[in-house]
Each structure stands twice: as C-alpha cells, then as structure tokens.
Chains A and B, each alone.
Chain A
Amino acid sequence: MAGRDYNAIELMTCVAARFLEDGATVGVGTGAPCAAAMLAQKTHAPGLFVVFEAGGLGPELPAMPISVGDSRTSHRAVMATSMADVFEMCQRGLIDYAFLGGAQIDVFGNLNSTVVGPFEKPSVRFPGSGGGNDFASFCWRTMVMTEHSPRRFVETLDFVTSPGYLSGGRAREAAGLPSETGPYRVITDLCVMGYGVEGWMEVVSIHPGVTRQDVKEATGFSLEIPEGVAGTEAPTEQELHVLRTDVDPTGVVIGRGS
C-alpha cells in the first residue's frame, strides 16, 4: 500500500475494531484480532467485554498477549476460570462475536486449520480446531481476518475444521448448530466481505487503492462483487494514533504488515 501512511495490518485492525460495538462480548485470540478488540475498547467501545478461551474473562490487557492462556489474558480480569466455562458461555448464547483463523476458507466461510492433503498422511499438518470450531459453532457472529490470496480463498477445503454456513441455506441448523449463528465478516488486506441470505460470501467494501479485478484475482472461487460496492473507509488519524501508541506500541502485531 505504497503512498499511504498505514499498512495492511493496521487497516484490517481498524476496520475490525469498528464492527465491535460498545457493550458487546467478543472471543479473541492473539495477534490482530486481539489488537482490534483493544483498539475498540480504547476508542468507541470502552464497555467491550473480551473473553479468552483458556479462561480469562474481561481482562485489562497490560500488553499484547503471546498465548491465549498467558497471564496477560487474565491481568486484572473479572474472573480467571476454566475453558469449559468460557465455551459454555458461548454455548448458552452470551458471546456476540468471535474471531477465527485458518489456512483455507471457502465461499460459505467454512475454515480449514487441520490438514492439507490426505488426513492419514497429510502434506501439511496444522494445529486443528483448537477452540475455533467451538467459537464458530456457538457465537452469534464470527469474523475472520486474513491475507487475501487464491491459496487461502479456495473452491474446496481439504478439511472442514470449523463451520461457516456449511453447504449454505439452513445447513447449520439442520446439523444441530444453534440457530441464527454464523459467519458475519471477512476482513482481508483487499476488502471486507459479508454473506448473502443463503450464506454465500460477497464483497461489502473494497479498500482504498484496490480494484475489483485485484479482489477477483486473489480469490480462488467465484465471488459476488455487487455493482457500486462501497469503498472501505481508511483508518482515521485517531485510530492509527491509539493503535500505534496505546494498543501495540512495540509493533509486535502491526509491525508485521506490508
């Protein structure tokens, strides 16, 4: 993003933070999603309640955590509890948002973080679900922050680790997942995507300096880009200031951007 005074990770983090409204509850991991939640707390959403799957509830994060179970995730927390307690909050319907990741994502927002190649002898073994499947199953709205490339946005996943809209339509409910839950936004270095009524991914806004052609070429499946799609609002000076000085002053997350 030459010529702009922010990098891709900073843009993605600012955009993600805007989706977290004051008073909401969000499950986060480490890295950019955690930075987004911290940025939201320090700007428009001081009452955002952050939970970490390992057991930290509502911490006042003193620094960027390295692990979702390190002691920063329960620093001045309102409770240090068990993992089952956290996921049962999710299963009961108390958690609004969660951020998810994966090596591959398909048009329905299903995610692969388990294997590439045959399961019994994979060419690449990834960590597996972790808590990803649980957050994806239970939380009202899930979001993904990822690099936009044809290697990631694929027609068919090698393995469906965590559920998006599965095969679309009412497939989640039919499978037994809680109703009215599912993927909400995908935030990449090129654009923001949401989902149509049948669960197909579609572009919501395109980032400054990015073309429709860029997005199409970086996506390994046929992606709906509505005519007259909006442009993503660039990070404001205030957002960037808080992000750089207060959220991630050492640059461990945002310093990795291009």
Chain B
Amino acid sequence: MDDDVTTGRGPLFSDPDPDRARAFFRSKRVALSEKVMSVDQAVSTFVHDGDYLASGGFGTNRIATALLHEVLRQEKRGLSFAGHTTTHDFEILCAGHVRGPLLARVDAAYIVGLEARGLSPQARRVMQSGDVEVCEWSNYALAVRLRAAATGVPFLPMRSTQGTDTFRFSASKTVECPFTGRPLAAVPALYPDVAFIHVHTCDPLGNARVEGISVADADLARASKRVILTTEKIVSVDQTRESPQQTLIPSACVDAVCEVPYGSYPGNMPGCYFSDEVHLREWLAVERDPNELTAFVDRLIYETDSFQDYLEASGATHRLAELEAIEKGG
C-alpha cells in the first residue's frame, strides 16, 4: 500500500467545471412550466445513449423503478452511472446487458450487492467482465461530489477515503488545507446528465415532497442537468404553495413529472408499502442462469409496455395489499 499517493488513478467520467455547468443551467428555463408526461416519453426525450445517469433513493428504498425499466425497453447504450447506494436499481440496469452493453462506466460506491439479501450474480458477471470502466468512491464521497455540484463549485474537501485503495482508485486528489496544513481529499463535482428520482407527491411543475429519509436526493436533483421525477401521486400547485417549506426538490430543477403509483416496487416506499422480498429473491434466483434471466426480463420488462403491465406480469398486483399492511404494521 502506498500511503503517499496524492492523485487517485481512477478515470473521471464527468466534467466538474462549474462554468460549463452554469452555461447549461442558464439555458434551462423550466421553473414554472408544466411537465407531466408518460414514462416512455420522459426517457425517450431526456435520456440519450452515452449519458451519465444517477438514480435516487437507496437501492431498494424509494427508487424510480419504472424509469429504470424504460431504459432497458428503449435499449439505451453506453451509459455512465453513479453507483451511490445502488442495489436493485443497479441490478435492473445490469439485467439490460442481456441485450447489449447498457453500462459503460460506473462510479462505484456501493454496487453489485443487495445488502443482507446477497450479491447479484448478473451484476457480478457485468462488473467482472472487464468491459465496464470503474472508478471507486465511498458513499459519502459520492454524496459530497453531488453536494459540490449542487453548490456550484468544482470540488469539495473531505477527510474519509484517505490512505486507502478506495482513494487510490478514485479520481480524488490530495490537497493541503490552507488553514491547518493537514491533508484533505478533494473530490470533484459530479453533474449527472440525468437523474431519476421517485417521490411521494409532486405538482405538475415538479415541486416534490418525500416522507422519510432523503438520502442524497436534494443534492442529486440540484446537481443534475436533467431530472425526471416519478411520483406516487400528482397534487395541485396550490398544495405546494400552502406549505412550501415541505418542498424537497424545486420545480426549477425538474424536466419531467410522471405519475407512477407503486413506482418504487419492488422496493420500499416509506409510509406506503414495504419491499417485496419474495420478488427480490426471485430476481436473485433467476440471475444464476443467464438463460433464465433473459426469459425473465423478456417476460417482465421487454415484452411489457409499461410499469403497470410489469406489476401485473410479475404478480405484484396481488401482493400490494400485503406490502401495504407490512408497512403500516412497522
């Protein structure tokens, strides 16, 4: 181990320059425009091959499942991805590799695993192939990278990762603190091209509220050039204006709003429904055999037209009442 390393050797997959980001944000005039559309329209309009994508929530909690499925259906290629606390979201994107190279570059803080549920065989195949470029980070490092972008500065300092291979294989640099003289890790701003975030309620302009933990979504929405929200429910702008302090994501950041009830399924939605552990286990089980996985995603994603169809094809519609009961019961 080389304790003296001052520049991470990892590749930087996105441009941290705040002036180029400002030029983009200057052109973005969406604060008071209505932007309700379908999931397929949002993904075809705002996600392009080669884009840098980030997904909100926490892996199996408040994730934008419908948008991730649609990326597969539209067979997007060569994406970069922020693997920040990603579990089932990452698993879905890796499943898209049954049809071709969906992911090309990954900023990895947490990938491949589904926490206590185990590792995803398909995500391991994709990440062990050598075909996807990887840069290492910690969860806090990626959160700080989004914070830097949300702040509008090219980097922010932090103290973790120093002295480890997680730093050495990142794109951080060591800087000397101008006040204490001690070393700090400077992490570059991350401006994703597009972010997917699922929320509890949102008005047609995109002013969004969530219940429970916010993870990194306040910063993710501000850092991203384009933001697609899915929401359990669309509410009126009046409701936003009656208690504006509850807005987590302001409409000025948001490009598309899609109403998708049960949109975090099979993930957990705080206060609404718990994760479907049966379905999540099924995913992990079918992934052991690539042919089974292909048949599974063909049936549930590629050959369905919408998230509603997925809920029906997967049998979820029969389990939702139980998942709601588990959530309400603690």
Contact = CB atoms under 8 A, between A and B. Distances in A.
Interface string B137-155: 1111101100100000000
Interface string B181-205: 0111100000000000000000000
A43 interface: no
Interface of A: 29-31, 53-56, 62-63, 66-75, 80-84, 87, 91, 110, 114, 119-134, 136-138, 159-163, 166-167, 171-172, 174-178
A82 B164 contact: no
A146 to B, nearest CB: 15
B116 A126 contact: no
Contacts of B329: 62
Given A74-B270, A166-B3, A137 B161 contact: yes
Contact of A166 (B1, B109, B214, B270): B1
Nearest to B210: A80
B271 A71 contact: yes
Nearest to A179: B182
Given A30-B115, A129-B138, A137 B160 contact: yes
Contacts of A84: 140, 143-144, 147, 216, 219
B257 interface: no
Contacts of B211: 80
Interface in B124-183: 124, 127-130, 134, 136-141, 143-144, 147, 158-166, 169, 174, 182-183
Contacts of B141: 133-134
A39 to B, nearest CB: 18
B137 A129 contact: yes
A222 B141 CA distance: 34
B115 A159 contact: no
Contacts of B60: 66-67, 69-70
13 contacts: A63-B330, A80-B270, A82-B217, A87-B140, A114-B166, A127-B111, A129-B109, A130-B138, A134-B140, A137-B159, A163-B163, A167-B1, A178-B159
A176 B213 contact: no
Contacts of A53: 139
Contacts of A56: 213
Nearest to A138: B160
Given A83-B216, A119-B134, 15 more contacts: A69-B57, A69-B59, A82-B215, A83-B58, A83-B139, A83-B213, A84-B144, A121-B128, A121-B130, A130-B110, A133-B140, A159-B169, A162-B166, A166-B164, A177-B160
B65 to A, nearest CB: 15
Is the interface on chain B under 10, 10 to 19, 20 to 34, or 35 or more residues? 35 or more
Contacts of A82: 143, 213-219
A171 B211 CA distance: 42
Contacts of B138: 129-134
A175 B162 contact: yes
Contacts of A75: 330
A185 B69 CA distance: 43
Contacts of B160: 87, 91, 133-134, 136-138, 177
Contacts of A55: 212-215
Contacts of A66: 60, 115-117, 275, 277
Max count, chain B CB within 10 A of own CB: residue among A56, A68, A114, A134: A134
A119 B169 contact: yes
B61 interface: yes
Contacts of B136: 114, 128-129
Contacts of A130: 85, 109-110, 138-139
Contacts of A128: 83, 108-112, 136-137, 166
Contacts of B109: 128-130
B174 A176 contact: yes
Nearest to A176: B183
Contacts of A126: 112-113, 119
B212 A71 contact: yes
A131 B139 contact: yes
A127 B137 CA distance: 11
B224 interface: no
Interface in B260-287: 268, 270-271, 274-275, 277
Given A74-B213, A134-B138, A175 B116 contact: no
From B115, B271, B277, residue with most partner A Cβ within 10 Å: B115
Contacts of B163: 163, 166, 171-172, 174-177
